[in-house]
Amino acid sequence: MSIVKILQKSTIESLSALYNQSFTDTDFQINQTKPEFEGDYTVVMFSLVKSLKLSPDAIGNQLGEHLTKNYPQFFTAYNIIKGFLNLTVADAYWQDLLQKNYNDICYGKKALNGKKVMVEYASPNTNKPLHLGHLRNIFLGWSVAEILKANGYEVVKSCIVNDRGIHICKSMIAWQMFGNGATPESTGVKGDHLVGEYYVKFNDVYKQQVEELISEGDDKATAEKEAPIMKATQQMLLDWEDGKPEVMELWKTMNGWVYAGFDVTYNSIGADFDKTYYESNTYLLGKDIVQQGMDKKVFYQKPDSSIWIDLTADGLDEKIVQRSDGTSVYITQDIGLALQKYEQYKIDQSIYVIGNEQNYHMKVLQLICQKLGMPNADNIYHLSYGMVELTSGKMKSREGTVVDADDIVEEMITTSQQHTEELGKVKDFTAEELTALYNTIGLGAMKFYLLRVDPKKTMVFNPAESIDFHGFTGPFVQYTYARIKSILRKQAEVMTTDNGQQTMDNDLLKAEKEVIVVAEQYGTIIEQAAQEHNPSVIANYVFNLAKTFNSFYSELSVANAETEVKKQLRLKISLLTANILKSGMQLLGIKVPERM
């Protein structure tokens, strides 16, 4: 049990004993004591004033006296500052925590809780390579999945690949018209990049044809509809839906190129999935559900035979669920896939990592599932996140101005090499070790920078700022970890690994205690990150822990500690910190180097 939970429980018991009433943890607040005041944790009691008819100072004095008298193993002193009760936690508590956990690589993580969650992320289209926006999505989804695992959930990482539709046919028709048989092998171009080039080519040609038709007298709407390349693409889509052999063969071939390219990218950034769904297999799902919805009178049919749902009473509007020709729309297949996910995995929660431009769509999806009485409908959760932009502005796929994921990864690795070489501390590394280090730092910088921001916020990615070894960055945390490992290697022969009391020191110095206090919070931080589906909670925490350790290390010597007891104490503080930094960074998908 964390010290905050111990304090909550002790405060409730003390208040009940003092005032003969029932209390809950919502009746007061607990915060970490501000640095300028004496104490570790503060109880805020202003909400108790009205019911107890006492001043905050009076309540604080009575409560502080009761806590220190009845729970001396936890609380040794208190003071009142303007109605705030500041409590000092016993050094023995921090010492005991350190002794029990300094070498626990699973510290803070929870046992299995019997619940299963699916996290869906990535959701790429097979007409172009992954781009910077995908990276935020992938890093976010992967990290949330790992954070949930650390909290005891069984997690299924899933991906839905958008491998059909008019946008896919655009790349196909452009390759057919202008590719001259080009393949990834013949061009030396990665498969997803090659297909993406033809998506851009389609839009260039389409724009030119539209302009030509307008110059010949057509209005814009007619020109866009009658452009030859668009008409050919629409025919290709019809041929695909009819299963025309040569179209299906081309579709399979070009998608194969893209999948191979995606796999290279996923492998390079450390992304993985337990289950991949393909839209070409799921787009017919939901048709039976539409009929069930008609039978339940959840849906209604318009005169043109299209089927709709009226959500105006829910603050939304009317939404089509099946076209007049009987074909499904996106929401229809999403309903079907939501049910398939539940039937396959019996998940307790289904998390969709999707950008905030789809907020409306996800509200509609959940509402329809709820009105249909589908199992698990209440547990659909949209992890809505803001877009990521570069300092140069927004990106547009069809204009070829998107920053490809592979390019930004390569840039980050190159930048990490330049920064590392400037520091000049890796002259004894082999070429293989250097390559691994540059990858670790470059990818770590990018992941940390994209995950340190609350998912709900739109953000600007600045590659140069992300790799600063002294800022709020991944490399700063990585460097701190490597620094600690260097300390531990040098002191490996003298460090004891007892579980007894040899390193107990009843006089913890302020800097020593500060590190242990922050380290103790790790389990609570993991819980908070899971409850909020927010990896930035972890990123902020590991940065704070690294910063606190560096302050401790700049003030106090480990190798030349005043006594052997102090040396062992500080070595164990160092090991506990290293283990937590490594664990926290792993939850963000970031490796930490043993030296750098």
- DSSP string across 391-427: TTB---TTTT-S-BHHHHHHHHHHHHHHHHHHHT--T
510 domain-assigned: yes
Domain shared by 37 and 139, yes or no = no
274 CB contacts (<8 Å, ≥6 apart)? 156, 157, 158
Residues 188 and 243 in one domain: yes
- One domain, residues 109 and 257: no
* CATH number for position 141: 1.10.730.10
Whose CA is closest to 321, among 329, 312, 313, 333?
329
Q: Do 35 and 132 sit in the same domain of this protein?
A: no
Q: Which two tokens stand for residue 231?
A: 């008409």
Mean pLDDT (10-residue bins), the chain, 596 residues: 96 96 94 94 94 94 97 97 95 95 95 97 94 95 98 98 94 97 97 96 96 95 96 95 96 98 97 96 85 94 96 95 87 93 96 96 96 94 92 52 86 92 84 95 97 95 88 96 96 74 70 97 98 98 98 96 94 97 98 94
Helix (H) or strand (E) holding 86: strand 84-89
Question: Angle at which helices 166-178 and 228-241 pack, to 10 degrees?
Answer: 120
| 174 found inside a domain | yes
Domain presence at residue 323: no
Q: Does a structural domain hold residue 309?
A: no
Query: pTM for the whole thing?
Result: 0.92
pLDDT at 62: 96
Report the number of distinct structural domains present in the chain. Answer: 3
Tell me: do 71 and 103 sit in the same domain.
no
Tell me: do 84 and 184 sit in the same domain: no
Question: What pLDDT score was predicted for residue 398?
Answer: 45
- 593 and 475 Cβ atoms separated by less than 8 Å: no
Given the structure tokens 């220190």, which residue do they identify?
A: 68
Task: Please tell me whether residues 82 and 99 are part of one structural domain.
Answer: no
Residue 50 belongs to what domain range? 3-89
Angle 564-587/536-555 helices, nearest 10 degrees? 160
DSSP-based three-state secondary structure for 102: coil
Q: Are 504 and 99 in contact (CB under 8 A)?
A: yes
Residue 284 confidence (pLDDT) = 83
CATH number at residue 81: 3.30.1360.70
Domain boundary among 89, 122, 138: 89
pLDDT of the residue at 502: 53
Residues 62, 149, single domain; the answer is no
Based on the domain organization, do 546 and 449 belong to the same domain?
Answer: yes
Same structural domain, 72 and 206: no
User: Pick from 278, 302, 323: which residue ends a domain?
Assistant: 278
Q: Considering 46, 62, 89, which residue would you say is the last residue of a domain? A: 89
Q: Give 246: exposed, middle or buried? Use CB within 10 Å, 0-12, 13-18, 19+.
A: exposed
Q: State the chain's maximal CA–CA distance in angstroms.
A: 93
* Residue 371 placed within a domain: no
Whole-number pLDDT of residue 392: 66
Residues 137 and 179 grouped into a single domain: no
DSSP per residue, 25-55: GGGSEEEEPPTTSSSSEEEE-GGGHHHHTS-
Residue 374 CA from chain centroid, whole number: 28
Please report how the helices 405-423 and 431-451 are oriented relative to each other, as an axis angle in degrees rounded to 10: 120
Please check whether residues 469 and 437 belong to one and the same domain: yes
DSSP at 453: S
329 lies in a domain?
A: no
Whether 534 is in a domain gets the answer yes
Evaluate whether residue 318 is within a structural domain.
Answer: no
